[in-house]
Amino acid sequence: MNLTQAVLTVPSHMVPGGIPQPDLKQLGFSDYEHCSIIDSTKLTRFTFSHPTKHATEAQFDDAIEQFIWLFAKGTPYVIDKSFTGKTPDSRHRYYYTNNKRICEAIN
């Protein structure tokens, strides 16, 4: 399976001002979009797309963990990952809340 896209969602109030651009090479992607959702949810979303040729899920996981360290300690997050190379294509969601990480398959 190949990781084709990843979306990190965190509460906006946990994202510090002036956060640096993520290291896309380290994450294994060549493009990203930073979007603040200004409605009742008050979320900030980082969408990583266009994976590099040799990107791996493990590489992304290591790099995104370092990126998350830039947020306030204990920041809850959700990471949605999309994969190809398996029939059918699959998506997984990872939650971090109450100091626990939970994974589930989503359609």
Per-residue pLDDT tens digits for 14-35: 888 778 889 999 999 999 999 9
Provide the b/e sequence for 75-87 (b: ≥16 CB within 10 Å): bebbbbbbbeeee
| pLDDT reported for residue 94 | 77
Which pLDDT band holds residue 76 (cuts at 50, 70, 90)? confident
Average pLDDT over residues 90-105: 74
| pLDDT reported for residue 82 | 87
Q: Between residues 60 and 97, which one has the greater pLDDT?
A: 60
Contacts of 43 (CB under 8 A, 6+ apart): 9, 10, 11, 12, 36, 37
